[in-house]
Structure 1
Amino acid sequence: MKLNQRMNKPLCIIMNWMLAKPNHVMKYANIYLEQDYDVINVSCSPLQLMWPAKGSQVIAADLLKFLESNEDFGPLVVHGFSVGAYVWAELLVHTTHNKARYQPILDRVAAQIWDSPADVYEIPIGLPSAIFPKNKIMQKTLRAYCIFHMNLFHNVATKHYMRATQVYHNTPCRAPGLFLCSLTDPVGAAKRSKHAHDSWVAMGLKVTSTRKLTFVNVSVLLTLSPLPMKCFKFKILLHLTIV
């Protein structure tokens, strides 16, 4: 996974929401490309989410290997959406298995931005909405299956979701964070963001008055109109500036 060319540039890692469309992701990627960042995006399919050992955990491990093999990238910025927070959390779980080896990678992260991060409790809500956004009957059917799946396959699925959520809330990544959420978003519920925010603050992360965790109540649409995108871009660039 090591690139042939040395890249002494900052890198933004975009952790995509479920079934993210490329043109939507590019709206966010362009914020960083305009600041001379390189950008990679990481996606997780529904099946990869449902079967972590052969899906989301493999994605997380591959991302970690990439970052380890390409240490010239830096500083790093992690910008995650919805289920992307869970995939990143699986990466964090992986780092706990060998802290001496992986902590230097996490220490390269200069900032982390989480837009409506989802955890284990949102899977039965978010997955059906992502796959069947306009079909309420299929949403209801898939929601019932998700609950059944999480109960039946606790040892191969649910326990991994719970562990990842726990590590995310007790993150070994010490970079300043910015939480963005919508009070009306059922997937990345605001209370989950607030919980993670409060957990990080309680950990006593080394932050200053200009390097603090910020909790912002905002509504960010996937198809952002020019004005909301300008406001969103301002918040992101401000966060990158103060860290």
Structure 2
Amino acid sequence: MALRHLSSTLRHQSFKGYHVSATHWQHKLENNTALPKLSKNFRLLSADEFVSNKAVARFTPETRPLVVMLTWMNARRKRVDQYSSIYLSKGYDVLTVTIDGWQFLFPTRGAQTVAQDLLNYLHQFSIRGNQPLLLHGFSIGAYFWGEVLLKIKADVEKYSELLDRVKGVIWDSTPDFKDTVKGLPFAIAPHNLPLRVMIRSYITFHLLLLYPLATKHYIASSRALHSTPCTAPILMLICRNDPIASVESNLNVKRSWESLGIETSIKIWDESKHVSHYFLHTDDYMAEIERFLKKINFPTADANPNQIQSKL
């Protein structure tokens, strides 16, 4: 009975306010060929819709940066839009990617399918142009990117040009697999202690019972993240009091990346909040972003992000 109640609650908690709108702008290249249609897990925002012609005139459709934003569990549309506006104001396009609780808990039918959809989209894009990519991931987005990396590793030759187009990676509040049991309950029910206890019990049960269907995939994703074939510079943004993404696990993966020769920088706040550093430390956060964009040679001049937010 308790598990049935928890299952029902998880379903409502996971889907409420999390799925993105199916409405999106289909970006067109100079030859007017539309890109592949996106599923409900994706939302494509074109800078053409939000900023002046002057801001986007610096780029051709093939060279305008695309930010692939991997959102967190139960992300509110308004919050995601605020992050998107940072990049839209610079004339970049933004592709947001979401997975819900059920797609995480049952990865073979969920997260892995979305990962393949993302790869198909970006690969077709790479055939048509040379749009540089910036990855900005939050929380569970790191797990999802691990699933993407596993598919890339299975066919490196096919995706080598795609990897070359990734110029930088930003990780915000990202937990490793070991943080999942304690982290996911906070992500699903941050203000409901009894529900968090139930969710934690369910996840522990889930990981033990469904090892072949779920747990082994989480472990594989974590290993892929640690041994990433993507060698673009990385910026990590974390805090010491995050109950979901521990400093220890982040420093551990940082050491793994540095051992591969990947340039990795990190910003650690003493006090902040999971996936909320931008809102609690706006000036610091933006300074780190601007520094990183300059490092990877992305244009940093921009319009007012607040003006963009009002249009989203």
TM (norm. structure 1) is 0.92
Matched, 1:125 2:170: no
Which runs of structure 2 are paired with 1:8-47 in the superposition (5 Å)? Answer: 8=62, 9-47=64-102
CA distance in 1: counterparts of 2:98 and 2:206, whole angstroms: 22
Aligned partner of 1:81 in structure 2 is: 138
Contact 2:242 2:273 in 1 (8 A): no
Contact 2:139 2:275 in 1 (8 A): no
Contact 1:10 1:37 in 2 (8 A): yes
- The letter of the residue matching 1:58 is T
What is the SS of the residue equivalent to 1:204? coil
Per-residue deviation at 1:181? Answer: 0.6
- The letter of the residue matching 1:238 is R
Aligned partner of 2:267 in structure 1 is: 216
Aligned partner of 1:241 in structure 2 is: 294
Aligned partner of 1:5 in structure 2 is: 28
Aligned residues: 235
Once the two structures are superposed, what CA deviation does each residue of 1:180-209 show, in whole Å capped at 9, x if it has no partner?
11111121111111111110111123xxxx
Matched, 1:231 2:254: no
Per-residue deviation at 1:28? Answer: 1.2
CA distance in 2: counterparts of 1:120 and 1:224, whole angstroms: 22
Aligned partner of 1:160 in structure 2 is: 217
Shift of the 222–162 alpha-carbon distance from structure 1 to 2, 3 Å rule, reads: closer
Shift of the 128–216 alpha-carbon distance from structure 1 to 2, 3 Å rule, reads: same
Which runs of structure 2 are paired with 1:77-226 in the superposition (5 Å)? Answer: 77-205=134-262, 212-218=263-269, 219=272, 222=275
- The letter of the residue matching 2:205 is F
CA distance in 2: counterparts of 1:96 and 1:150, whole angstroms: 25
Match of 2:106 among 43, 51, 64: 51
Per-residue deviation at 1:119? Answer: 2.4
Per-residue deviation at 1:230? Answer: 2.6
- The letter of the residue matching 1:62 is D
Gap runs ≥5 in structure 1: 206-211
Per-residue deviation at 1:237? Answer: 1.4
- The letter of the residue matching 1:56 is A
Q: Name the Cα RMSD after superposition.
A: 1.6
Per-residue deviation at 1:216? Answer: 1.6
CA distance in 2: counterparts of 1:110 and 1:242, whole angstroms: 10
CA distance in 2: counterparts of 1:32 and 1:83, whole angstroms: 21
Contact 2:172 2:275 in 1 (8 A): no
